[in-house]
Amino acid sequence: MNELGQHVSSIVHEVNQPLTAISNYAAASISLLAASRPEQLRNVLEQLIEQTVRANEIIRRLRNFVARHESERRAENIPELLRDATRLAHGAGGEPAPAVEIHCDPDASTGFLDRVQIEQVVFNLMRNATEAMSKSQRRVLTLATKSIADGMIEVSITDTGPGISADIQANLFEPFVTTKEGGLGIGLSICRVIIEAHGGKLTAEDNPEGGAIFRFTIPRAPISGS
pLDDT at 154: 98
111-128 pLDDT tens trace: 999 998 899 899 989 988
Q: Same domain, yes or no, for 87 and 59?
A: no
Q: Same domain, yes or no, for 107 and 26?
A: no
State how far the Cα of 29 lies from the Cα of 43, in Å rounded to an integer.
9
Residue-number span of the structural domain to which 168 is assigned: 74-219
Q: How many domains does the chain have?
A: 2
Q: Same domain, yes or no, for 123 and 55?
A: no
Q: Same domain, yes or no, for 148 and 97?
A: yes
Residue with more model confidence, 138 or 54? 138
Residue 38, number of CB atoms within 10 A of its CB: 10
pLDDT at 183: 39
Domain-embedded: residue 9: yes
Q: Same domain, yes or no, for 81 and 140?
A: yes
Q: What is the largest CA-CA distance in the chain?
A: 58
Q: Same domain, yes or no, for 49 and 102?
A: no
Domain-embedded: residue 18: yes
Residue 135, number of CB atoms within 10 A of its CB: 8
The mean pLDDT value for 26-48 works out to 86
Q: Same domain, yes or no, for 10 and 53?
A: yes
Q: Which percentage of the chain shows pLDDT scores above 90?
A: 35
Domain-embedded: residue 224: no
Q: Same domain, yes or no, for 55 and 153?
A: no
Domain-embedded: residue 226: no
Q: Same domain, yes or no, for 133 and 161?
A: yes
State how far the Cα of 66 lies from the Cα of 62, in Å rounded to an integer.
6
User: Taking Cα atoms as reference points, which of 83, 82, 20, 77 lies closest to residue 54?
Assistant: 20
Q: Same domain, yes or no, for 35 and 139?
A: no
Last residue of a domain, one of 66, 90, 113: 66
Last residue of a domain, one of 30, 50, 66: 66
Q: Same domain, yes or no, for 115 and 166?
A: yes
Domain-embedded: residue 94: yes
Q: Is the pLDDT of residue 75 over 90?
A: yes
Domain-embedded: residue 176: yes
Residue with more model confidence, 17 or 68? 17
pLDDT at 189: 80
47-58 pLDDT tens trace: 888 888 888 877
* C-alpha R_g of the chain: 18
Q: Same domain, yes or no, for 54 and 80?
A: no
Residue with more model confidence, 65 or 69? 65
Last residue of a domain, one of 66, 88, 108: 66
- Which domain CATH number covers 171? 3.30.565.10
